[in-house]
Amino acid sequence: MVQIRMMEGNEAAAYGAMLSRVQVVPAYPITPQTELISFIAQFITEGKMKAEYIKVEGEHTAMAAAIGASAAGARVFTASSSQGIVFMEEPLWMPPGMRLPINMCIVNRSIAPTGGLRPDHNDSLLQRDTGWIQLYCENSQEVMDTIIMGYKIAENKNIYLPVATCYDGYFVSATASRVEIPEQKDVDAFLPPYEHEWYSLIPGVNKERPARGSSAKNRYEVQQANERAKKVIEEVDEDFNETFGRSYDGMIEEYNCDNAEAVLMTMGSMTGTVRDVIDDLKKSGKKIGLLKLRCFRPFPTEELQKISKKYHIIGVVDRNTSTGSAGGGIVSLELARALYHLEDRPLIANFHVGLGGTDVTPRQIEYMAEKTLGILKTGKIPEPVDWVELKDLGPVM
Amino acid sequence: MIEIRFHGMGGQGAVLGALILAEAAFSEGKYAQKIPVYGGMRRGGDVTVFLRLDNKPIRRTCGIYEPDCIIVMDPALKKQNFVRAGLKKGGLAILNDEASPSEINLGVELSKIACVDATGLSMEIFGQRAIPIVNTPMLGAIAKATGFVKVESLYEPINHQFSGRICELNIKAAKLGYEKASVWEA
């Protein structure tokens, strides 16, 4: 029977890993990821989960062990945050090139020195060039479901790429909300056991392995796999919906966009609050909707090109900074590149909010919505990026 | 939607208390959402937890700046500005305090104030401890003063968190908190 109960994001992630029948978990604790791996350790101790938990001395080793286990043919899971991800950086580049379908949770947390324990997206976005697929979640249910889908995407024989399921520390990781826990037999039917078609380091089972080419050839293959992943992510979402009755609209969700001339584009936990604000603004006649960017890597260029024809302006809400960049946050830079060649392209407004894990408040969201609509009216963008937090918009914790 | 803000100090069980209340409300068919916020320091640092209850799914994932109700887990906290901040006129406050609720002034007209000496009850039930267990007595007081959940609905979520004698003692603490809370109404 499907169980329904209150669950924090970290526990939901641990359930996602358990239901996916993960076999090896090398991990090192770090706030706000700690509860996730402590739940996994508990599941293993209680005998509910049959997996090898490898205690490692740091995140660098966690990823190195994950690579070894995955190369040996195991379904592997790990997780980290912030400084842990940064420390993991060196081996983190290897799974895409080695085509290992490792899954990892990045429990988003800002990076030192200015950040605290709370989330922004710079830790995961720092990994944008590695070749990892990156999916961003809004709540506990989506975290659990995305991990299960993540393995199905990663282990597709046309993909073989690692997948990062990213979710905000505290606002998702420690936030308890209603979760449906799918039945194991349904997950088993959805996600068959893992077997790499051509890669194994186990002696005697070494299969036909593509010859090692140049760096350019390897990166080209990773790029091509990323391109193919776009379709696979959509298909897996449809399959998931058929089996479990929940869909996340693949790479991008358009929410309450009927008659919208403008949209706000978000990632992660702030999306729920934006839904409420958009509903209120719609009721008062404002022509604005929401684009939730669920998949940052591969960047859904073609879908955004199609979608953007409907809107005159996109207000990109960047919970990250790329200081000294060509102008604005990382998501807005990507979007600008994706839309540059279109003859009829929308304006792009850009906002920085929630940096270092400060709250993204309804009032800030109203401000961004009004400003985006205002820019549409005048056609003039006053600055490359608006640092919303530096405005006096009421209390922000 | 009812928006509740818990204020406590690390170790007092504000986070777990809010989760138990959320699960109790959930078991009664409501939607609930709990968001905790705390820093790196655990014991002794201030802890804020946001709790929302509603009859429909809760989507917003932000802090609560204008709570309908505040829960103050420590007598020293009621004078703090961040505890009183934004509390709605006509709202509710439940405090761990030896004082009579009619003596409590949080600087805004409230419809209901409840006090329970949760620290004293912790001493009575759990004995002397470095940090008293005040969350379960407070939950009993919340059930009595607010009616957000029935006191009986707290027992299963408590059982979910603790086992054996510790569970029994915490259920007893919730019951006593319910009985001993004194409620003032406008």
Among residues A248, A200, A190, A135, which one has the least CA distance to residue A20? A190
Residue B180 has pLDDT above 60, yes or no: yes
Query: Is B181 in contact with B116 (CB distance < 8 Å)?
Result: yes
User: How large is the C-alpha radius of gyration of chain B?
Assistant: 15
Residue A215 has pLDDT above 90, yes or no: no
Nearest-angstrom CA–CA distance, A177 and B52: 10
Residue A66 three-state SS: helix
User: Which one of B7, B21, B62 would you mutate to disrupt binding with A, by most A Cβ within 10 Å of its Cβ?
Assistant: B62
User: Residue A202: which pLDDT band, with cuts at 50, 70 and 90?
Assistant: low
CB nearest B59 (choices: A275, A359, A395): A275
From chain B, pick out residues whose CB is under 8 angstroms from the CB of A171: 35, 61-62
Residue A198 three-state SS: coil
B183 reaches A (C-beta below 8 A): no
Query: Is A30 in contact with A59 (CB distance < 8 Å)?
Result: yes
- Residue A182: cis peptide before it, omega within 30 degrees of 0: no
Chain segment A82-125, per-residue pLDDT in tens: 999 999 999 999 999 889 999 999 999 999 887 789 999 999 99
Q: Do A272 and B60 touch (CB under 8 A)?
A: yes
Q: Among all residues of chain B, which has the CA nearest to that of A268?
A: B61
Q: Do B35 and A174 touch (CB under 8 A)?
A: yes
B37 reaches A (C-beta below 8 A): yes
Residue B168 has pLDDT above 90, yes or no: yes
Chain segment B111-162, per-residue pLDDT in tens: 999 999 999 999 999 999 989 999 999 999 999 999 999 999 999 999 999 9
Burial (CB < 10 A; 0-12, 13-18, 19+), residue A266, is buried
pLDDT of residue A304: 98
Query: Is B46 in contact with B11 (CB distance < 8 Å)?
Result: no
User: Residue B38: which pLDDT band, with cuts at 50, 70 and 90?
Assistant: confident
Please name every residue paired with A27 in a beta bridge, in sequence order, or none if there are none: A55
Query: Is B132 in contact with B43 (CB distance < 8 Å)?
Result: no
Q: What values do phi and psi take at A20, rounded to 5?
A: -80, 5
Nearest-angstrom CA–CA distance, A184 and A170: 28
Neighbours of A188 (CB within 10 A): 13
Q: Do A394 and B65 touch (CB under 8 A)?
A: yes
Residues of chain A with a CB closer than 8 angstroms to some CB in chain B: 5-6, 31, 116-118, 138-139, 170-172, 174-178, 269-270, 272-273, 275-276, 359-362, 394-397
Burial (CB < 10 A; 0-12, 13-18, 19+), residue A52, is middle
Side-chain half-sphere CA neighbours of A223 within 13 A: 7
Residue A245 has pLDDT above 70, yes or no: yes
Distance between terminal CA atoms of chain B?
22
Contacts of B183 (CB under 8 A, 6+ apart): B101, B112, B113, B114, B144, B145
Q: Among all residues of chain B, which has the CA nearest to that of A274?
A: B60
